[in-house]
């Protein structure tokens, strides 16, 4: 039987994140949509077109914004 209950296995939270991925089959380059400077970026490695996609990525925690918890 498959146990559907959540397991505390993944310590790093992940979420489906918008990305751009290279269309070249020989290139695995991709970038986060947040990091793309152009509306339709080209691959920084091979200058091929990039297509929108989604990838399950670790949530980026902005470490420059720190909370000081008391107690
Ligand atoms: Zn590429």
Single pTM value for the model: 0.65
Residue 71 belongs to some domain of the structure: no
Residue 66 belongs to some domain of the structure: no
Note the Cα 19 to chain centre separation in Å.
Answer: 6
Ligand 1 centroid distance, CA of 36 (Å): 14
> pLDDT band at 38, cuts 50/70/90?
confident
The mean per-residue pLDDT over the stretch 27-52 comes to 93
| CA-closest candidate to residue 44, choices 68, 26, 21 | 21
Residue 68 belongs to some domain of the structure: no
Residue 63 belongs to some domain of the structure: no
Ligand 1 centroid distance, CA of 56 (Å): 20
Residue 39 belongs to some domain of the structure: yes
Q: What's the domain range around 43?
A: 14-58
- The pLDDT > 90 percentage for the chain reads 52
Residue 3 belongs to some domain of the structure: no
Residue 54 belongs to some domain of the structure: yes
Ligand 1 centroid distance, CA of 47 (Å): 6
Domain count, the chain: 1
Residue 25 belongs to some domain of the structure: yes
Q: Choose between 69 and 32: higher pLDDT.
A: 32
SS (H, E, C) 6-45: CCCCCCCCEEEEEEEEECCCCCCCEEEHHHCCCCCCECCC
């Amino acid at each position: 039987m498959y146990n559907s209950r959540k397991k505390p296995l993944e310590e790093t939270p992940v979420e489906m994140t918008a990305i751009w991925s290279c269309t070249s089959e020989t290139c695995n380059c991709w970038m986060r949509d947040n990091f793309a400077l152009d509306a339709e970026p080209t691959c920084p490695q091979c200058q091929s077109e990039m297509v929108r996609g989604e990838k399950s990525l670790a949530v980026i925690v902005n470490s420059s914004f720190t909370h000081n918890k008391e107690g």
